[in-house]
């Protein structure tokens, strides 16, 4: 999870502007800001949201929309310095994230996200998630080319530690599978330092020395210039700038991030030995996640918030599914955020090493999207068309818009309305948005035969429980602390029942008892009555 928190600003901040030294200081500050918002949002999610041991952090779904907005600002406006461009771009991103988060909050409160999970085809969701990783291919091998000696080793080490050696244990702890990213970066960084001290690159070109040696990566500068302590605070970059194009472009990130989080909620509950979360709890968790996105926007982290699938993997490996462990980790993240030297340390990573990590991380994201196709009939010509068309358009259409803009100074959409032009060009330059629209168009219009859509794979996650708060076990798992859920329901249930009677609808059925799923003892940590 630490790797994902650090990598997102590492790719976005350089694209937003700043000279080399100022850019590194800004990157360090953004990384620390990601730490504090991750801690705060995790506490909110575990207290008021899903109530499961879920960690909130930055989402890779925001990378392509942010890069699109940053490129549009760079091409359309001039600034006195690159640092001024960074600050202006950050403020526009803040406005886009906050505005899209408020829209997502409304969708979650109305149950639209949960409805989408039950009615959208797994092909549409899977392609939309996969395109997040595939569309960022330029951040992988092309960036590693600056110093393949650093990028290739870190990529190989992460794969070896995370997969080839994942069953190797020390004192009962799967050490390699828990820390593949940190181990890969640490060993590669040590190798780069040894080669630098040994003078291996002394006779190389200045470009190679800058990319491959630790002494030329501004390591000493940023660690000496960064203060020991700095508290990230809301509005630290200035007042957010709200633009229609920024908000709508960010919506292309909110939807896949939210739908991906739903799967994490169910997986965390299953691995924790908890009963399946009711649909109302899932909608509540998504509403809290949308509020967390707004908090991330207020602080200025360059991305919104999502549930970390990495945390679900950690539960599976360690067997620790304690809500309090997650909350303690959140408090540690908040403490780390005020120590600026830690953010500066991560900001000094050579870019070729980061590119090597991207090759693994973005590949996993693409694979996660394809994993959602289980249960889909891939022998159907209809489904094959939707899958291929969504992926191809998600890559090809943004490439056309970007090349057209570079050649003509404006996007292909060039009407009399500047606002409309900015919105349309930004949306069609975002791979996730194009992929979603292409899949939806075909999925909802092409007739399907029985079983072609594969919707049954999603319906397995649908909960039939109603009145779950009357069940003491369910209320302990998913109810708000201090017994707030029963008190709240006593207030709103009579109002809802009166509304149903006026509309002639039958009253909801009583809560049904679902069988308890008992996991192996090694997969559940019993620590208190407050634990799932």
Give pLDDT tens digits for 167-193.
888 877 778 877 888 888 889 888 888
Domain membership flag for residue 475: no
Per-residue pLDDT of 215-271, as tens digits, reads 555 566 667 777 888 889 998 888 899 988 888 888 878 877 887 787 778 778 877
Domain membership flag for residue 453: no
Per-residue pLDDT of 471-521, as tens digits, reads 777 778 787 787 777 777 776 666 555 555 555 555 554 444 434 444 443
Domain membership flag for residue 3: yes
Domain membership flag for residue 459: no
Give the integer Cα–Cα distance in Å for 206 and 363: 32
Range of the domain at 377: 1-445
CB-based contacts of 426, cutoff 8 Å, min separation 6: 65, 68, 69, 72, 245, 246, 248, 249
Nearest to 449 by CA among 389, 377, 388, 386: 377
Output the pTM of the full model.
0.74
Domain membership flag for residue 528: no
Per-residue pLDDT of 298-355, as tens digits, reads 998 888 888 887 777 677 666 788 889 999 999 999 999 999 888 888 777 777 888 8
* Lowest-pLDDT range of 154-163, 200-209, 213-222, 237-246: 213-222
Count of domains for the chain: 1
* Lowest-pLDDT range of 50-59, 139-148, 263-272: 263-272
pLDDT of residue 306: 87
pLDDT at residue 389 tops 80: yes
Per-residue pLDDT of 348-374, as tens digits, reads 777 788 888 888 888 887 887 787 787
Give the integer Cα–Cα distance in Å for 228 and 438: 49
Give the integer Cα–Cα distance in Å for 366 and 111: 27
Domain membership flag for residue 398: yes
8-34 burial, b at 16+ Cβ within 10 Å, e below that, comes to: bbbbbbbbbbbeeeebbbbbbbbbbbb
């Amino acid at each position: 999870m630490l790797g994902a928190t650090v990598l997102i600003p590492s790719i976005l901040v350089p694209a937003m502007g700043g000279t080399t030294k100022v850019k590194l200081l800004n990157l360090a500050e953004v990384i620390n800001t990601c730490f504090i918002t991750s801690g705060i949002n995790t506490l909110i999610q575990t207290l008021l949201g899903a109530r499961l041991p879920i960690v909130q952090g930055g989402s890779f779904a925001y990378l392509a929309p942010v890069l699109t907005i940053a490129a549009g600002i760079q091409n359309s406006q001039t600034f006195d310095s690159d640092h001024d461009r960074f600050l202006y771009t950050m403020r526009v991103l803040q406005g886009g994230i906050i505005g899209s988060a408020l829209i997502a909050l409304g969708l979650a409160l109305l149950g639209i996200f949960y409805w989408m999970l039950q009615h959208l085809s797994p092909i549409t969701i899977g392609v939309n998630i996969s395109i997040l990783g595939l569309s960022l291919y330029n951040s992988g091998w092309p960036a590693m080319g600056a110093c393949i000696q650093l990028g290739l080793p870190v990529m190989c080490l992460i794969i070896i530690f995370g997969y080839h050696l994942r069953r190797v244990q020390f004192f009962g702890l799967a050490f390699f599978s828990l820390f593949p990213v940190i181990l890969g970066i640490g060993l590669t960084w040590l190798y780069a330092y040894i080669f630098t001290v040994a003078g291996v690159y002394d006779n190389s070109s200045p470009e190679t020395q800058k990319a491959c040696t630790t002494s030329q990566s501004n390591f000493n500068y940023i660690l000496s210039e960064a203060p020991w302590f700095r508290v990230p605070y809301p509005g630290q970059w200035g007042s957010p700038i709200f633009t229609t194009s920024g908000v709508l472009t960010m919506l292309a990130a909110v939807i896949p991030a939210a739908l991906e989080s739903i799967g994490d909620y169910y997986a965390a509950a299953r691995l924790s030995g908890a009963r399946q979360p009711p649909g109302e709890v899932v909608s509540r968790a998504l509403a809290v996640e949308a509020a967390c996105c707004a908090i991330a926007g207020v602080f200025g982290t360059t991305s919104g918030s999502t549930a970390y699938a990495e945390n679900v993997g950690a539960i599976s490996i360690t067997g620790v599914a304690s809500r309090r462990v997650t909350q303690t980790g959140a408090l540690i993240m908040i403490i780390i955020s005020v120590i600026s030297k830690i953010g500066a340390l991560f900001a000094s990573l050579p870019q070729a090493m980061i590119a090597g990590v991207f090759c693994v991380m973005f590949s996993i994201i693409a694979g996660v999207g394809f994993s959602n196709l289980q249960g889909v009939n891939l022998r159907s010509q209809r489904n094959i068309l939707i899958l291929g068309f969504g992926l191809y358009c998600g890559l090809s259409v943004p490439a056309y818009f970007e090349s057209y803009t570079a050649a003509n100074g404006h996007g292909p959409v060039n009407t009399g309305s500047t606002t409309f032009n900015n919105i349309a060009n930004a949306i069609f330059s975002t791979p996730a948005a194009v992929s979603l629209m292409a899949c939806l168009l075909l999925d909802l219009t092409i007739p399907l035969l029985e079983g072609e859509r594969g919707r049954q794979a999603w319906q397995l996650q649908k909960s039939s429980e109603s009145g779950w708060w009357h069940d003491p076990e369910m209320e302990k798992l998913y109810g708000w602390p201090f017994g707030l859920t029963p008190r709240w329901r006593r207030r709103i249930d009579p109002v809802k029942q009166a509304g149903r009677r006026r509309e002639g609808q039958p009253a909801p059925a009583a809560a049904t008892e679902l069988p308890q799923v008992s996991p192996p003892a090694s997969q559940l940590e019993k620590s208190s009555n407050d634990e799932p």
